[in-house]
Structure 1
C-alpha cells in the first residue's frame, strides 16, 4: 500500500474526507421514562428488534421526561419516538403539529381509554398507542393486617412532580363516589372544580387521613412515594422506618418495591366511601408511544414495539418485579403472571373491571395538571374547608384560562372519552 493510500484510508476512517462516510442511516432515537431495571429491560428488548432494514436504536431514559422533550423540541432535535404517560401533553403536541398520526395497523392497537382519537381538521386520528399499562385504584397492605381501620401510608414527594400521589387519591375517590360519567366530565375540563362532587372528593380524602400530627404531615410531604432507601434500594412505605402505617393507596407499578410474599393487594373501592354501583370501576395509567419524526422507520418501530411479539420480547427481558402489564384485547396475548400479586392485578384488570378511566390529572393540560399537583400539597398541609374553597377557585381559574386558549384552535378537539369498557 502506498503512503498516499494509507493517508486516504486513515482520513476516511476519521470521516475527514467527504464521500468516505458510511451510508448507514443514523440510529432511531427513542425517549422514554424508564430508568434503572425497567430501562435496562426495555433497551434490551429494543436492541433485539429485527426489522430487516439494518436500522439501530438509541434509547434515552430520563425521570425528567417533559423537560427533556421540551428542550429537544425547542432545539428542533426531537426524538424519533417518545413514550409519555400524559394524554394532556400528547394532546398539546398534536395540537402544535409535533406528532405524526399513526399508521393504520398500529392505530388498531390504540385501544381506549389509553389512546382516544383526536379530531384534527375534521378527521379523527390516532396519535399514540400504549406500550404498557398500569392499574390504579389499588390498596396494598401486609398479610395478616386487619383492613377495617387502616392507618394510611402517604409519601407525596417525587422530584419535580411531587403531589401526584395525592391527586391519585382525589381522582380515585371522585370516580367511586360520583361515577365514570362525572369523572370523565371533570377530567376533560367540562366540569367546574367548584362542583360539589369535586369538593366532596377532597374532603373525603381529608377525613380518611384525619388525626395526623404536624410531624407526620411534614414527613409525608418530604418522603418519596417509594418510601425510604436502604442498601438494596427503595423499601416501600409499608417497610420504611418511622412509618407505622398499615395500608398504602398506590398504582400497580409499586409492586417492584414489595418483592416478598408478605404484601397483599386489593381494590380500593371499599375504602373510599363510594357507591356500590361503581365498585368495579378502576383508574388506570399507561405509557404511550408517539411518533415525532417523518422517518417511515419510526412508524415501523412503534408498530413492532406495540405488537404481540414486541410485548413478549419486553416481558422476557424484564425481571418479574418490573415486567410490563398489558390488558387482554382482541388479537393480543394474555398476560402470563409472574407471581401471585401480578396474577391478582391481572384478574382485576382483565376480568373484574367493568369500566376503566384514564388517570384524570394525566388527561388535563399540563398547566392545569401542575396546578392540581401543587394544590394537593397545600391541602394536605392545611385541609381546612376555607382553604379548600380557595384552592378550588384557583384551579377553576386555571381551567377557564386554559379553555379560552384552546378555543383559538377551532379545527382541533381534545379527547373527551377517557373512560371505556375493558373490552373496547
Structure 2
C-alpha cells in the first residue's frame, strides 16, 4: 500500500481516497504525480495501491466505505458497479476524454452516459524475443501464475488468436456475451493455441502453471521468462507492460499477427487494455480529481515522474505532444499503437462479467494441462453454461444495457 497525504493540516477535509492497481515503481510514479497535483481546493489525497484490487474494492463496498476514486482494468467489473448504482456518471469535461475502445458509454434508464475514463493504456498483440533469434520454429515461453488471477496470460493468447482469425466483429460479439462459446471460431482459437505450443512434457506443463508471468526471480527481482532458468524458450506473447523487464538492447518486440494463423485483413488489428478511473463518491472533489488526472497536464506530469520501464502509454487522442521515446522498444510500441494499428479491440476477458471472466481463467489452466478434444468440449460447455446463467441473472428490473461496442478505429 502506498499512502500520500500532502499538506495535511487539522483544518483540511478528509483526504480523498484513490484505490488503484499500481505498486512498486509504477505506484511510486503515480504517487509522485498525485503529489504534484495542485487542484486549488486544499484537498489531500491518499493512494492505496494493491495487487488484490477486486477483493479490496468489494470488501470496501460491502462495508459501505468505498474509495472516492477507483482505477480498474475491467470493463466487466465497472459495468457491474454502474448497474448497481455504485458509480457516478462523469462530468462532461472528463467524459470527453473517454476514448474508444477503452471507455464505451452505457445506456442507463434511457440515458447514455460515461462512467469511466482511461488514465493509461497498454498495447497487447505483441511478441517478444531476443535479437537474432530465428522465428522458423518458435519455442514459446509460458508462465500462467498470477496470484488470485492466474490464467490470464493464457486467455490473452486465445483472445488474440480469435481476433486475428475471425476478425473484430466476431471478437466483439464473443467478448460481449452475444456469441456462444460453442461457436466454431471460438473452438478454433483454443485448438490453434494448443498447436502453437506443441508437445510439452509433464514437467514443462507444471513449470508453466506454477511460474509467474514475470518469470523466475533473480537476485534483483523478476527477470522475464526469456531470461529465466528452466525455460528453454525463444518467444513470449505478452502485453506492452512487460517492457519493464525487457528494456535491454538485445530484446525485440513485434506484432503478434504473423504467428497466429490469422487472415491478412486483420493484420493491423490489435488487442488493448487500460486502467480506467471511476468515481464512487458524491464528493464533487472526486470528479475534479479525475478530470485533472485525465487531462493533458495530468498525463504529462505522470509521464515525467515515471522511469522509462514503467512510463505510461497514452493514445494519440490524449492531447499530448509526441513524447521522446525512452528507448527503441518504447518507440516501437508507441508507433504500433498510434500510427500502424488500424483497429483496436479491448481485452475480451476484461469486458466479460466477472463470473464469466474467472471461469475463463480457470478453463485455460485446465486446458493447458489437458488439451484433448474431449476435455475442450467439456470446458466450452461449462463456459457456455456460465454465459447463459450470468445473462439471465443480470436482469434487475432497471433499464440497463452493457456495452456492445468494444472495438474502434485507431485514434477513435
User: After TM superposition, what 4+ stretches of structure 1 lie above 4 angstroms from structure 2?
Assistant: none
Q: Which has the larger radius of gyration?
A: 1
1:330 shift after superposition: 6.3
Deviations 1:327-355 (A, max 9, x none): 10163333432110000000100011010
- 382, 387, 399: which is aligned to 2:375? 387
Aligned length: 404
Q: Deviations over 1:65-95 (max 9, x none)?
A: 0000000000011000000000000000000
TM-score normalised by the chain length of structure 2: 0.97
Alignment-derived partner of residue 372 in structure 1: 360
Residue by residue, what CA displacement relative to the aligned partner does 1:355-407 show, whole Å, maximum 9, x if unpaired? Answer: 00000000000000000000000000000011000000000000000000113
* 3-state SS of paired residue (1:258): coil
Rounded Cα–Cα distance in structure 1 between residues aligned with 2:411 and 2:20: 27
CA contact (8 A) 1:308 1:333 kept: no
Kept in 1: contact 2:75–2:350 (CA 8 A): yes
Q: Which residue of 1 aligns with 2:6?
A: none
Query: What corresponds to 2:392 in structure 1?
Result: 404
1:187-223 deviations in Å (ceiling 9; x for gaps):
0000000000000000000000011111000000000
1:252 aligns with 2:240: yes
RMSD: 0.9
Name stretches of at least 5 consecutive residues in structure 1 with no aligned partner: 1-20
1:315 pairs with one of 265, 278, 303: 303
Deviations 1:140-166 (A, max 9, x none): 000010112100000000000000000
| SS of aligned partner of 2:272 | strand
C-alpha distance in 1, partners of 2:195/2:397?
A: 41
Matched with 2:316 is 328
Question: Alpha-carbon deviations, 1:202-261, whole Å to 9, x = none?
Answer: 000000001111100000000000001011110100000011100000000000011211
* Unmatched runs of 5 consecutive residues or more in structure 2: 1-8
Q: Please state if 1:242 is matched with 2:253.
A: no
Larger mean CA deviation between 328-337 and 285-294 belongs to: 328-337
**Aligned equivalent of 1:219:** 207
The within-5 A match list for 1:25-424 is 25-329=13-317, 331-424=319-412
Distance 1:338 1:330 in 2: 19
Structure 2 SS opposite 1:82: strand
Which secondary structure state, in structure 2, belongs to the residue aligned with residue 329 of structure 1?
A: helix
8 Å CA contact 2:247–2:327 kept in 1: the answer is: no
